[in-house]
Amino acid sequence: MSAPGVAHGPAAAPVSTSSDAAVRSAFAKFDKNGSGALDVRELRSALGQLGLEAGRTEAQAILSKYDADGGGSLELSEFQALVSAASSTSDSLVTDPIRRAFEALDRDHSGSLDSRELRSALRKLGLTEVDADATKAIMRKYDTDKGGRIELVEFASLV
């Protein structure tokens, strides 16, 4: 299973999406406080338990994307939409070579590239004329969640 903006991790196997009951059961398990909705903390934990790893910024971006009513959390129907999209998304979005390149460039192992790491990456790609202004322009274009850093899925769209 793959979710947009989320890198695979070594956690548990993905929950089967073949059954609505399985999704409902998973949702209930992840809704730790019983509120009937997943906040960003619960969503991040859920993604990890589904075999996906997401930083806080990535989890917030995913929550924002699937939070249809704008309530700041995911209700069951919104979670079902996320699971459905994740199930149909191809793993080719972020290939292993891109993931390995990203991890090699992420010097501080933060899960994202800051402008300094991005500039270094561009220079390694032979773009030695890239200055700070050009790097900032690239950051603005590819930092789709406007978090000030380039996450893996954003990097994949860059390369």
Return the higher-pLDDT residue of 91 and 140: 140
User: Are the C-beta atoms of 120 and 105 separated by less than 8 Å?
Assistant: yes
pLDDT at site 44: 86
Mean residue pLDDT of the chain comes to: 78
pLDDT for res 8: 39
Q: Three-state DSSP class for 78?
A: helix
Instruction: Quote the CA–CA distance of 111 and 52 in Å, as a whole number.
Output: 13
pLDDT above 70 coverage of the chain, percent: 78
Token representation of residue 115: 């402008």
Residue 40 tokens, joined: 């960003």
- Which tens digit of pLDDT belongs to each residue from 6-23? 443 333 334 443 457 778
The dihedrals phi and psi of 111, each to the nearest 5 degrees, come to 90, 5
Do 7-90 and 94-158 fold alike per CATH? yes
> What is the C-alpha separation between 36 and 136, in angstroms, rounded?
41
Q: What is the largest CA-CA distance in the chain?
A: 55
- Pull the structure tokens for residue 53: 């790893």
Query: Which CATH superfamily does the domain covering 7-90 fall into?
Result: EF-hand (1.10.238.10)
Nearest one of 104, 95, 106 to 153, comparing CA atoms? 95
Backbone angles phi, psi at 117, to 5 degrees: -65, -40
The residue extents of the domains of the chain are 7-90, 94-158
Max mean pLDDT range (53-57, 89-93, 108-112):
108-112
Cβ(47)–Cβ(63) below 8 Å: no
Residue 121 CA neighbour count, 13 Å, CB half: 23
What pLDDT, on a 0 to 100 scale, did the predictor assign at position 3? 47
Give the lowest-confidence range in 26-30, 46-50, 56-60, 98-102: 46-50
Mean pLDDT, rounded, for 71-93: 76
Residues 6+ apart with CB under 8 A from 152: 7, 94, 98, 99, 102, 111, 112
Q: Express each pLDDT in 129-143 by its tens digit.
A: 888 899 999 888 888
Pick the CATH number of 94-158 from 3.20.20.140, 2.40.50.140, 3.30.1480.10, 1.10.238.10: 1.10.238.10
The top-scoring range by mean pLDDT among 13-27, 71-85, 94-108 is 71-85
Q: What is the mean pLDDT of residues 34-61?
A: 83
Q: What is the pLDDT of residue 7?
A: 40
Residue 17 has a pLDDT of 38
